[in-house]
Amino acid sequence: MAHRLCPSRRPLAWLLRGLLAGLGGLVLVNLLFAGAGEELLSWLLTLFLGGGRAVLPADPPLPGPGAFLIPNLDACGPRAPFLLVLVASAPGHVAQRQAVRASWGGVRRAAGYPVQTLFALGAPGSGEEQAQLEQEAQRHGDLVQGRFADTYANLTLKTMMLLGWAAAHCPGAAFLAKVDDDVFLNLPALARHLGALPSPHRLYLGRIHWRVWPDRAPSSRHHVPASAYPVGAFPPYCSGTAYVLSADTALWVLGAAPHVPPVPLEDVYVGLCAHWAGLPPTHTAHMAGSTHYPLDPCCYGEVLYSVHEVGPQAMGAAWALVEGEGEACTPLQRALGVLRCKVLALLQDL
Ligand SMILES: *[C@@H]1O[C@H](CO)[C@@H](O)[C@H](O)[C@H]1NC(C)=O
C-alpha cells in the first residue's frame, strides 16, 4: 500500500496526471459556469436547426421617408461600414449619448474594420425637447428618429425602425449591432470576432436567454398579454442589451415581422422573427448580459465584447482600457478568459 501513495517513484507521471486533472477541471468549470457549455449548445442548435427558410421574402416591408422625424438618410455615406452599430436611446439620455460619442462610439475604425455608430430614438413628449434633438442631430449628424412616441412599450417599434433604416439606407454594412445606450461595447474585440467568422451570413449573435416564460402580471414592465403570446416559453433569443445580426438576418427579421405576434419586448420579438425564419441564435459568453463586471483591464480591454449598465462616467474609463498601450491581458489571463472575469464579478459581490 505504502508504495502506491508515494508519488516520488514516478514524479513525471504524477505531475502529468495532476496537470491533466487540473486542465480537465478547468474545462468542466468553463462548461458549467463560464458560458462554454451554452456556446457549444447553441452551436449544435445552429448545426441541426440552422437550415432556415429557403428564400428571403422578396420585399421585406421597409420604412419610407415618412416614417422618420429625423431621417438622416445619408448618414451611412457612400462606403458602408463593415459593422454598423445602432444604439437604442431615449430623447432625454443626452449624457449617455455624449459618453458613447466620446468613447467607443466615436471611432470609425476598429481592429482595422470600418465601423460606424448611430443613435435611434422616437419622438419626445414636447416640441422643446424635439428642437433640442434637432440641434443635437445638426451638430453630430448621428441621430435617426422614428415617427412614434418614445416609450418603453414602443421599444419593439424602435428596433424595427432601426433595422428598417439600416436595410434601406445602409444595405452595404455586413453586420448590424443593436445595443442599449448604457452598454459599453469593445468594438475592436467585437469586430475582430466578426471578421474571423467563416461566413458573414445567417448570424444572430448575443447572450442567449434559453427558456423565458411570458410575464403575465399586468403591472410588470415585461408584461406580455396572452393575446400576444398565448402558451409556452419563448424560443431562445439574444439579450436586448447587445446583439449582432448579419445583413441577411436583419432582412429576414423584417420579412418575418408581419407573421409574428406583436410582443412588446424587442429582444423577444427579434427572437420570434428569427425563429420564424429558421435562424437560431448563437451564444457568446463574451457578451455580458446583466452581470456586473469590475473595471478590470483584461476583461474590459480584451475579453468582453459588451458590458451592460455602464454609466456615462464609467464609459470613458472602460474605453481607456481598450485604447491603452500594450497588452491588456497576460497570457494566463487570456487563457482563463471569461472564466476569470466571472470569478472577479463573483468576488466583487461577496
Ligand atoms: C407608440 O407610438 C405610437 C405612435 O406615436 C403611439 O400612438 C402609441 O401610443 C405608442 N404606444 C405606447 C404604448 O406608448
Q: Which residue in 291, 243, 247 sits closest to 267, CA to CA?
A: 243
Instruction: Supply the pTM of this predicted model.
Output: 0.90
Report which ligand 1 atom has the smallest distance to the Cα of 152.
Answer: 14
Pocket test for ligand 1, best of 69, 145, 147, 148 (most atoms within 8 A of CB): 148
Q: 148 CA to middle of ligand 1, Å?
A: 6
Q: How far apart are CA 35 and CA 52, in angstroms?
A: 25
The count of residues in the chain is 350
What pLDDT sits at residue 58? 59
Q: 242 CA to middle of ligand 1, Å?
A: 24
Q: Which residue in 129, 165, 124, 119 sits closest to 148, CA to CA?
A: 124
121, burial (CB in 10 Å: exposed 0-12, middle 13-18, buried 19+): buried
What pLDDT sits at residue 263? 92
What pLDDT sits at residue 36? 81
Q: How far apart are CA 69 and CA 145, in angstroms?
A: 5
Residue 43 near ligand 1, beta carbon < 6 Å: no
Q: Are the C-beta atoms of 88 and 158 separated by less than 8 Å?
A: yes
Helix (H) or strand (E) holding 110: strand 109-110
Residue 148 near ligand 1, beta carbon < 6 Å: yes
Q: Whose CA is nearest to atom 4 of ligand 1?
A: 148
145, burial (CB in 10 Å: exposed 0-12, middle 13-18, buried 19+): buried
Residue 223 near ligand 1, beta carbon < 6 Å: no
86, burial (CB in 10 Å: exposed 0-12, middle 13-18, buried 19+): buried
β-bridge pairing 237-246 and 204-209: antiparallel
Q: Whose CA is nearest to atom 8 of ligand 1?
A: 149
Q: Which domains does the chain have, with CATH numbers?
A: 48-283 (3.90.550)
Q: Are the C-beta atoms of 270 and 237 separated by less than 8 Å?
A: yes
Q: How far apart are CA 22 and CA 36, in angstroms?
A: 17
Q: How far apart are CA 124 and CA 93, in angstroms?
A: 11
Residue 335 near ligand 1, beta carbon < 6 Å: no
The rounded average pLDDT for each run of 10 residues, N- to C-terminus, in the chain (350 residues) is 57 88 83 80 76 65 90 93 98 97 97 98 97 98 97 95 96 97 97 96 95 89 86 93 96 93 94 92 90 92 95 94 90 94 89
**Angle, alpha carbons 185-191-96 (nearest 5°):** 20
Average pLDDT, the chain: 91
Show the cell assigned to 10.
Answer: 514516478
What pLDDT sits at residue 5? 53
What pLDDT sits at residue 54? 57
β-bridge pairing 68-70 and 282-283: unpaired
Q: Please write the tens of the pLDDT for every residue from 221-272.
A: 888 988 888 888 999 999 999 999 999 999 999 999 999 998 999 999 999 9
What pLDDT sits at residue 158? 97
DSSP 79: S
What HEC string does 189-221 produce?
HHHHHHHCCCCCCCCEEEEEECCCCCECCCCCC
Q: How far apart are CA 6 and CA 11, in angstroms?
A: 9
Q: Which amino acid is at 278?
A: G
Q: 282 CA to middle of ligand 1, Å?
A: 32
Residue 210 near ligand 1, beta carbon < 6 Å: no
Q: Are the C-beta atoms of 277 and 55 separated by less than 8 Å?
A: no
